[in-house]
Structure formats: C-alpha cells, structure tokens
Amino acid sequence: MLGAAAALALSVPGSAYAAEGVLVINGQTYEDPSGCYPVDWFPTSVANNTDAIAEVHSGPDCTGQVEWLVYPGETYHTETAQSVFIL
C-alpha cells in the first residue's frame, strides 16, 4: 500500500504540465506555453516550436471545432481561426 501511495505522489506533478519551447502566434512569442491564446488578426500564422501539439480552434476562447493540429516544428496559416490551445 505504501508503494502505491508513493507512485501516486510521483505522478501528480504531471497535472501542472506546460509545453516546453516557444509558441508563436502572429509574431507574438509565448515561452513554455499552456492553455488558450487568442488570435487577434487575420491572416494568422501559428508556429509551434514546442514539444506539444497545438490545437487551432474556430471559435474564441478555444471553443468551436478544432480546425487544425499543429505538431511540433510545424507552422500553420489560416484566415478563420480565433484561438489556439496548447497543453
């Protein structure tokens, strides 16, 4: 039982995870990003230089459909996205 408690205690810090690297949205850089970021103008460029996948959403505040997944090292251009989420 003690071993299970120790394993659980070691796995809890993962809940405070942030991506490592830089997310660039329309030239604005976010270091070690986490959460939702607004898209302020169009056309939009999302450059994902992190170790996580960025979700491009059609609605504000990361609502609406996921328009595209931007994998690490990729850049995506759009004229319809309103927000970007990265974990």
For 11-58, how does the pLDDT look when each residue is reduced to its tens digit (9 = 90+)?
Answer: 444 445 789 999 999 999 999 999 999 998 899 999 999 999 999 999
CA 22 to chain centre: 10
Per-domain residue ranges for the chain?
18-86
Q: Are the CB atoms for 22 and 3 separated by under 8 Å?
A: no
Q: What is the pLDDT averaged over residues 2-17?
A: 45
Task: Check pLDDT > 90 for residue 70.
Answer: yes
Phi, psi of 8 (to 5 degrees): -65, -40
Strand order through the sheet with 75-78: 28-31, 21-25, 44-50, 75-78
